[in-house]
Amino acid sequence: MSMASLWQGRSDADEGHRALRWHQVVNQPEQLTHLHPTPQMLPALALLGYPCDLGVALNHGRVGAAAGPNALRKMLANLPWDINGQLVDAGDTHLQATLAQTQHYYRQRLATLLSSHAAVLALGGGHDIALGSYLALADSLPSDSVIGIINIDAHLDLRSPAKGGSSGTPFRQIAQWCEAQDRDFHYACLGASQAANTPALYDYAKQNNVHILPDIDFTLANAQALLSPFLQYIDTLYVTVCMDAFAASAAPGVSAPAALGIDPLPVIKLINWLGHAAEQASVTWKLADIAELNPIYDEQLKTARLASRIGFELASALFINPCVKR
């Protein structure tokens, strides 16, 4: 399927430039002349797909997330474009022979995009995307930068990678990398389900000062209370949203459906708040990703629609940050 065929949608040309949608501006800076006399100088949001569910298979989940990036593009296409910047679809990273090789290749592609674009929204794929995302962000920053991870997820994804990485191991792999590099590991997981994580994972989380907000306690106020001090200890933010954080009724098309899950509305409000809170805390935020969208099991495109709304909110929040207003 060609990228052009994915970026299709409604056109309201008779309503003027403020009626543009994502499909009309992606890779088309000439559409943005109303925003700036030299649109090629506008900051740009880049999209990068990670069409990989090798890690999901290794984690014994439902495969199908490899089709997630294109399903998400199709849903994003028809959303209104209200950002003062360009939109660049950098395509997909290529699958390699192994998960580790695929993650490394994605890391290289993403690091290049982070160095040349104001912000990047990556589209998964399994949650093993997180390892490549974090390492690419670290590659693009000074070695003394303190990175904070906010993961909205039912799973801590802190399993041991002793027998190899998977979609259940990325944050433990990041913790091990931080230890080897003598860097601080700052990780907050919001929406974690006690029914989806073993006591051993909670033990490891406690030993490594992981901040956890359980699914049964997830509210906007509780999330803000947890994250406000978290932002004071970091320089740079990386946000990752796993679609299995939400109830199966709202997000049936995921690798591991949630019996309970969290409500999408406070997550949407949290993302918006986070853009302003990061700016106020002088925290740079230019990377977010969405993981575990599995179109094979997606009834009436419910999960893709929710994922696109989350992508829409993440894009807007990323552009609140002063780092993209250069």
Please report the pLDDT score of residue 95 as a whole number.
94
What tens digit of pLDDT does each residue of 232-261 get? Answer: 999 999 999 999 999 999 999 999 999 899
Lowest mean pLDDT segment, chosen from 13-22, 62-71, 189-198: 13-22
Please report the pLDDT score of residue 326 as a whole number.
34
In Å, the largest CA–CA distance within the chain is: 59
DSSP bridge partners of 284 = 236
Specify the pTM.
Answer: 0.94
- At 325, the pLDDT band (50, 70, 90 cuts) reads very low
Amino acid in position 35: L
Average pLDDT over residues 118-137: 97
Quick check: 74 and 123 in contact, CB under 8 A? no
Residue 127 assigned to a binding site: yes
Residue 235 assigned to a binding site: no
What tens digit of pLDDT does each residue of 138-154 get? Answer: 999 999 999 999 999 99
More confident residue, 279 or 35: 279
Residue 323 assigned to a binding site: no
More confident residue, 84 or 16: 84
- At 192, the pLDDT band (50, 70, 90 cuts) reads very high
Residue 182 assigned to a binding site: no
Average pLDDT over residues 8-30: 83
Query: Which positions ≥6 away from 31 have C-beta within 8 Å?
Result: 17, 20, 24, 25
* Three-state SS at 289: strand
Domains located in the chain, CATH noted: 3-324 (3.40.800.10)
How open is the CA angle 54-56-62, to the nearest 5 degrees? 120
How does the average pLDDT of the chain come out, rounded? Answer: 93
Buried b (16+ CB within 10 A) or exposed e, 93-108: bebeeebbebbbbbbe
Residue 104 assigned to a binding site: no
Average pLDDT over residues 15-33: 80
Residue 186 assigned to a binding site: no
Please report the pLDDT score of residue 9 as a whole number.
86
* Three-state SS at 74: helix
